[in-house]
Amino acid sequence: MRFRLTYGVLLFAFVAAGCASSNPPLRTESSTSAISAAEAVGAKDVPRAALHLQLAREELDQAKSLADKGDKDRAASMLLRAEADAELAILLSREQTEQAAAAEAMARVHQLQNDNR
């Protein structure tokens, strides 16, 4: 009985040590979601936004590669960059949409002013 208890404790210690030394998986959900959102708002159709969307995709790929090599710190940093570039792509895309809407509104105002003359 004592042997089994000792064996069980040692087995538990080895398993716990193995789990503690293994690296946690890379959390890419936030960056992936930001990239998907940028694609959904049409960032690929706005040149400045498309550039940042492409950078975000490349940085996500680099993060995965770095994580596979065991460089979790640089991978996490690259994920933050990917998320930031994807969010910038979203903002640039929205800016383009808002500028187009504002130009259209101004054109209607000018048309109404000309019609009233």
With respect to residue 53, please indicate whether it lies within any of the assigned structural domains.
yes
Please give the single-letter amino acid code of residue 12: F
Instruction: Read off the pLDDT of residues 73-103 as tens digits, 9 standing for 90 and up.
Output: 999 999 999 999 999 999 999 988 888 888 8
Tokens standing for 13? 């210690």
Q: How many Å apart are CA 67 and CA 84, to the nearest integer?
A: 19
Residue 48 has pLDDT above 50, yes or no: yes
| pLDDT level of residue 3 (50, 70, 90 thresholds) | very low
With respect to residue 18, please indicate whether it lies within any of the assigned structural domains.
no
Cα 48 to Cα 12, 42, 54, 114: the distances in Å are 55, 12, 10, 35
Is the overall model pTM greater than 0.85, yes or no?
no
Q: Which domain holds residue 69?
A: 23-115
With respect to residue 92, please indicate whether it lies within any of the assigned structural domains.
yes
With respect to residue 42, please indicate whether it lies within any of the assigned structural domains.
yes
With respect to residue 93, please indicate whether it lies within any of the assigned structural domains.
yes
What does the pLDDT read at residue 5? 47
85: Cβ contacts below 8 Å, ≥ 6 apart: 52, 53, 55, 56, 59
What does the pLDDT read at residue 26? 79
What is the arithmetic mean of pLDDT over 101-116? 87
